[in-house]
């Protein structure tokens, strides 16, 4: 897409954004909680106060941590309207680095092998599948497994059209659980639980969809990762304002057992995403160079400032490369010493 085409596309949406922002951003927040949504304790402490460091949409956000169970949650939480506003055009203006295709493929194969080693599933539902890239890659390891996808976005329909999944379900797991009850013997939730307004409801829905003896695989950011303290608001897994809950592994394990699951596997090293330092550098730089032209800013950015922004990014490439290299080289050591940013848990549904 040409520069002029991008500018025209941004300008066409600017009036809609500005009309919403004219009403203020406070309306996007629910009343602040005084107790933990996980255990009910009132021993809450502020873990983080930040703005939107990825897209720089207006607003301020806070994460609280429970002093009893360690649960971290956005407080006050975004309303459904707020979530829609901050998740709209989520990729526009994003500067976060991504894993290479080779690493994405290796991670997908590793996930499939981890579950297949327990019991090769007949039918697998991938929740939050996007355009169904994971099922397409996992099928290379489990060719006899039928993969379906579920997602709130239109990407799941694209995945279905391209033949990456057998069936595509558009919507939320909680609303589609009843019609899908008992259909699957494997269900995956990769980095979706942190986006859910009610993680417990997601787990109950997963139990409904699974057959007795079926396996649930979850990967989620670990709020006890040492990078969370070291990098502070620059730790990308905080993900504000789009991440609503960061559930400690111990809490998730107890809840799964309460629902009748048996935990059969826990892993911290393999699920780690080695981009912490590179992401922190990218977020820091992004806040200190000329802003991009995005529709939630009142005025269009001049061509000169856009060129300055591009030049500034090029100037920081050596620093970004260094950070990414350190992420990769230090990964084997850091994932053994509490710096893994993601955990994986596999649980088998009871009768």
What pLDDT score does 210 carry? 99
Tell me the pLDDT tens digit for each residue of 127-160: 999 999 999 999 999 999 999 999 999 999 999 9
Instruction: Using DSSP bridges, classify how beta strands 72-74 and 245-246 pair: parallel, antiparallel or unpaired.
Output: antiparallel
| Mean model confidence pLDDT for the chain | 95
Instruction: Look at residue 2 and tell me whether its pLDDT is greater than 70.
Output: no
Instruction: Look at residue 349 and tell me whether its pLDDT is greater than 70.
Output: yes
DSSP result, 255-292: HHHHTTEEEEEEESSTT--S-HHHHHHHHHHHTTSPPP
Domains annotated on the chain, with CATH: 1-96+172-351 (3.40.50)
Q: Which helix (H) or strand (E) holds 187?
A: strand 184-190
Tell me the pLDDT tens digit for each residue of 7-26: 778 888 999 999 999 999 99
Count of positions (residues) in the chain: 351
Tell me the pLDDT tens digit for each residue of 47-65: 999 999 999 999 999 999 9
Whole-angstrom distance, CA of residue 165 vs CA of residue 136 = 7
Instruction: Look at residue 265 and tell me whether its pLDDT is greater than 80.
Output: yes
From the list 62, 63, 79, the residue with the least C-alpha distance to 71 is 63
What pLDDT score does 4 carry? 64
Share of residues in the chain with pLDDT > 90 (%): 93
Q: How far is CA 23 from each of CA 18, 20, 28, 154, rounded to the nearest angstrom?
A: 9, 6, 10, 29
Tell the burial category of 23 from Cβ atoms under 10 Å away from its Cβ (0-12, 13-18, 19+). Answer: exposed
What pLDDT score does 8 carry? 79
User: Higher model confidence: residue 312 or residue 1?
Assistant: 312
Find tokens 């697998």 and name the residue: 124
Tell me the pLDDT tens digit for each residue of 63-122: 999 999 999 999 999 999 999 999 998 877 678 999 999 999 999 999 999 999 999 999
């Amino acid at each position: 897409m040409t520069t002029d085409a991008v500018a025209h596309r941004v300008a066409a949406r600017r009036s809609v954004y500005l009309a919403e922002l004219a009403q203020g951003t406070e309306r996007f927040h629910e009343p602040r909680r005084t107790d933990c949504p996980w255990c009910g304790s009132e021993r809450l402490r502020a873990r983080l106060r930040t703005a939107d460091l990825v897209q720089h949409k207006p607003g301020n956000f806070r994460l609280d941590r429970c002093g009893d169970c360690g649960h971290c949650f956005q407080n006050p939480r975004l309303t459904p309207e707020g979530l829609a506003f901050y998740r709209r055009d989520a990729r526009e203006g994003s500067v976060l680095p991504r894993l290479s295709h080779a690493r994405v493929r290796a991670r997908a194969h590793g996930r499939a092998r981890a579950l297949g080693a327990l019991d090769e599933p007949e039918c697998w539902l991938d929740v939050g599948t996007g355009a169904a890239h994971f099922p397409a890659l996992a099928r290379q390891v489990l060719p006899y497994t039928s993969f379906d996808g579920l997602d709130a976005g239109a990407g799941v329909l694209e995945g279905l059209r391209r033949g990456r999944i057998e069936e595509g379900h558009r919507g939320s797991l909680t609303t589609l659980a009843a019609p899908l009850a008992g259909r699957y013997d494997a269900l995956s939730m990769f980095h979706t639980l942190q986006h859910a307004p009610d993680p417990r409801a997601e787990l109950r829905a997963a139990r409904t969809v699974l057959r007795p003896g079926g396996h649930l695989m979850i990967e989620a950011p670990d709020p006890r990762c040492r990078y969370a303290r070291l990098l502070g608001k620059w730790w990308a897994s905080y993900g504000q304002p789009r991440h609503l809950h960061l559930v400690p592994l111990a809490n998730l394990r107890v809840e799964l057992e309460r629902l009748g699951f048996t935990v059969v596997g826990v892993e911290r090293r393999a699920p780690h995403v080695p981009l912490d330092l590179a992401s922190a550098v990218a977020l820091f730089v992004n806040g200190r160079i000329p802003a991009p032209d995005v529709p939630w800013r009142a005025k269009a950015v001049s061509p000169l400032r856009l060129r300055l922004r591009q030049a500034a990014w090029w100037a920081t490439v050596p620093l970004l490369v260094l950070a990414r290299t350190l992420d990769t080289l230090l990964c084997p050591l850091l994932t053994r010493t509490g710096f893994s940013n993601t955990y994986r848990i596999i649980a088998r549904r009871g009768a």
